[in-house]
Structure 1
Amino acid sequence: MTSLFQIIMLILDIVWFVIIAHVIMSWLINFQVLNLRQPLVAQIWSGLDRLLEPIYTPIRRILPPMSGIDLAPLVALVAVYALRIILTNNAAAFY
């Protein structure tokens, strides 16, 4: 069961870093540091967007419109961190 706990924690870490990468990349695109006309940038952006859209969509349905501010990544990060806390506090169930 220890390995199951470690695998779940690894997956949560990966999700955390993918969300952070998506947020940073969206800032760089909005501030025109990165250009979506470049094929590599467009492929990375498309891949991250496809990975995270199933996570963001239910959150966006719940959140009220914020006039251009997307809080779905922030809510997703808080949810991932909360899951890590819950799993860490209940780690005895895995041993």
Structure 2
Amino acid sequence: MIQQTRAYSTAALGLAIAQARRAAGLTVDQAAERSGISRRHLLDLEHGKKKPLITTLADVADGLGIPLGLLAERGWIAVEPPQLP
């Protein structure tokens, strides 16, 4: 039996950031300003193009009004380890 493991996904984290931003009713510009980062940086995070430093992720979570742990947890996805011959 193969056990699943977890891997960090910038795409999953980006989706979580975008969903949280929309749920807060914020535009990209508003969320970026509240988070203290540039619009481009926030868009790169939302599109999974960058893996944020924990301090940046904390700033984004604070700007969106959600707990850091909730946002960070959503960046993990279940994966199956490769099968060996």
TM bucket (normalised to shorter chain) is 0.3 to 0.5
Structure with the bigger RCO (C-alpha within 8 Å, sep 6+) is: 2
More strand by share: 2
